[in-house]
Chain A
Amino acid sequence: MGKTTTQNEGSNFSALYRATAAAVLVWIASIGGFLFWDIHVAKEHAENLARQEVRVRFNKDMAFRSWVTSHGGVYVPVDEHTRPNPYLNVPERDIETRSGKKLTLMNPAYVMRQVMVDFAGQYGVPGHLTSLKLMNPANAPDEWERGALLRFEQGEREIAEFAEINGQPYLRQIGAFVVEPGCLKCHAEQGYKVGDVRGGISISVPMQPFLDNVYRDIRKLLLPIGAIWVLGLALILTLMLQVRRRIEVQQASEFSLRKSSAEISRANADLTRFADVAAHHLMEPTRRLSSYTQLLERGLAAYPEVKADQDVQEPLQYLQRDAGRLRTLVRDIQLYLAADQPRGEVRREDANLVLANATQRLSAQVQQARAVISAEPLPPAIIDSQRLMDLFVILLDNAFKHGRPLNEQAVPQIGVSGERDGTLSRYRVSDTGPGIPAEYRERVFGIFETLHGAGGGSSGIGLAIARRIVESRHGKIWIEDSAQGGTMVVFELPDGE
């Protein structure tokens, strides 16, 4: 048993450990998932911000550029910083005002470049004008821009992508410049027509500041989330330890309960065994006492004058009576001790059949008592037929002996009935005798209890045996008032073990 207990403990704890490990995993996964999701959302938010910014700048560039283009370029005073554009070959590129001020025509690309370079600080992120057909080599596209320009030739008009420049992350956007009438003033000689893609204006917003924001936010989150994570883990582990302690306590008490219950049943078995052996050994001399008393009486037949002597006759009678009584007592003890063990197969027994057999076995007593037994149909019972028979024999025999009506002329009526009630069968044996006062109804189930003193051939163990039989089947037996005013013994036999 000790071994089984150890195995039970092992398996109980391993289930607990498995549950704990699962809880820890779920906890880690949910915190991790939350963090991951949060980073994802923050990044997306940062990217949207970047996209918005790049779009605003791009639109501003485009507006500005469109404005210059719509005027076919703008004339500005020539100075050290703003020289005529040597790549621009159009008539009236350089003109002079009447007062002799020199003006030169700035084409859109030139304007944009100058704005971006001169006011880079305020302008912020520099834009970049580029084309596959360059007029100014300084505007040559980089690798990403070249790819985008080629895609414009396939019909795309605007491309925004995250790409790296010198190993740094950027959001880059490039929009196509479509040739408008104003463009042809300068670019007609390159063979462009209105509607052709002239080139692209690209803007690159460095992502690092945005990402830095994201990372800073996440770093701020890490501490509280880490604390929650650790707290959760601690909670799970504490809970596990508490459950384990509770299981240990429960197992300890179960173990001691099992142990003491095993000890009790062992002690009970020992006691029963002792009583059994004692009764068995008592039976031998008891039997001989009885036999030899009879032999003595037979022997005395040869000496009639001795046998007739009162001093011989009386002791002999008492000897005989008590030898008989002793034998009955020992036999009843043996029957009582054996009553909790089935004799034969425990199965569904037809109680009507068993009752009929019991009545037949008692036919001599039935006749002697001039009793009428009326039996109603009985439900079947789960028990061995031998002991069900014993039950009926004991109860009927009791009814014959103690259920005689007070009116000597009346015919003793013994009724047997029964019914099913859920998973048990209930039986009643009633008589029309004087009944048993309520205060004695429990006592008569005790060993050697009889309400009528010694004699009558019964040792008073019948009802004790009946109770032992019924209780060994986890049933109940008790006494009620009979409808006819006598005693009614009720017993219930459940179906289960």
Chain B
Amino acid sequence: MPDLDAPARALRGIGVGPGLAAGPVARMAAPPDLPAPRPVADTERELADAVRALEATEADLRARSEAAEGEARDILSAQAMIAADPTLREGVAERVRAGEDAAHALRATFDRHRELLASLGGYLGERAADLDDIAHRAIAAVLGRPMPGLPSPGHPFVLVADDLAPADTVGLDTGTVLALVTERGGPTSHTAILARALGLPAVVGCAGILDVTDGTVVAVDGTSGQVRTGVGDDEAADVRARAAEERSRLAAGRGPGRTADGHPVDLMVNIGSAADLRGADLDGVAGVGLFRTEFLFLDRKDAPGLEEQVTAYAEAFALFPEGTVVVRTLDAGADKPLPFLGLPEEPNPALGVRGLRISRDRPDILDTQLEAVARAAEKAAADVWVMAPMVATPVEAAAFVDRARAFGLRTAGVMVEVPAAALRAERLLQVADFLSIGTNDLSQYTLAADRQSGALADLLDPWQPALLQLIAACADAGRRSGRSVGVCGEAAADPALAPVLVGLGVTKLSMSARCVPAVRARLAAYDRAECEELARRALDAADAAEARAAVL
């Protein structure tokens, strides 16, 4: 009955995971709204309902825990134990006996424990959010609503949600999820990072997607950001065929990155530890463009010792016997707190003591890290470079380079995340051996838009001409000095943006390993003069949407 079908219509968001997909929508259920309180006639029955809801929540979490692995398994198992907590049950019983209905008794009891945990701060403060998740589940159970969380419709589907938090995506089955589409979220949101890590097509900030009902077939273009709803069988089949073709075409591309006319571009990967590369196809990859070292420091009471660091770095260096590994020194601060640093809370953590700024008070932490990198590098075949995060001035850059050289590290550079650094790129390159542009932070600081803000996703878009202009300034400085200027933020993983960045003069692109084939294929389609023309068009646009439209 084609006449009765909703007409196909196009929604638009920001494409953050390249690729095509088509399939039926399954929405992640939103947390249930609490209805108005109601008087309770039979308190014992009401209490039995509340207890059953907690038991159902526990059973659901337990089942999910048993299906999960590793850390996710532990987290879900601990959540199941919380749902089964006798103290919680007593609190609910007390409130129901005092006349509250089951849903409100659950909400109020969870809230009290939530406040208690939140007031303790740190690790426990973070668990407060888990408690909310458990509360939503128990309340949904008592109200007879669908459990919030990942849907499991029993067939492959396009996952639609308001936004995705890390806890939502634990146990996400990449075998059945075809694509991710979220109503909110921006290019640096968890959804975007997850999509790239999993190699799923994804669109974020897609207004109106939550109004699309479950089962509606949509076609998702994770490059352009377009989501077509209500597409017919023929169009869906066509999209699937094109997606399959695209995948086999990408898989066929091998070798190092270069433009159609052979201009070389180093394709590199971002890693948090050696484990990130397990099973990755590293054909043609020139090395690690961003080795985040935070993993060694998280959840620690004391800083990791020299020997421990040497071992961890050596493990990562061993993976690239012929490549370059760029180590970023500790990037922590009030937004990524580490207990042993003893940093005070700050009103604006993103503008506070973070990254290299920590070494103002704690030079010992940087020195130990540089010494460990140098020691591990001595034994490694890889060409090891170091760089500092959050550098603002040439003086800071020079101080960092001096420290690195003092430990025998030959190649020391800085990240460009602060607009001041981009504006003074030429001066930075008089002291630093290379620049690496962290586009996530650089766009946050350039557009004055919080990275966490879904509402400002359009401003955080890496296609913003102002951001591209700062990248161009760095690349120009690199060209004049003959030094390397790379991009290691999320922008480098966007295949459509890759020729633009190369046209601006960027020489290295570093991204999640899974994104390499799509970026390599796109670069190979343009010669260098075309890249430069695309860069001119993007720079000439009035905003990100115009820039994208001018290039695609």
Q: Do A and B come from one complex?
A: no
- A interface residue numbers (CB < 8 A to B): none
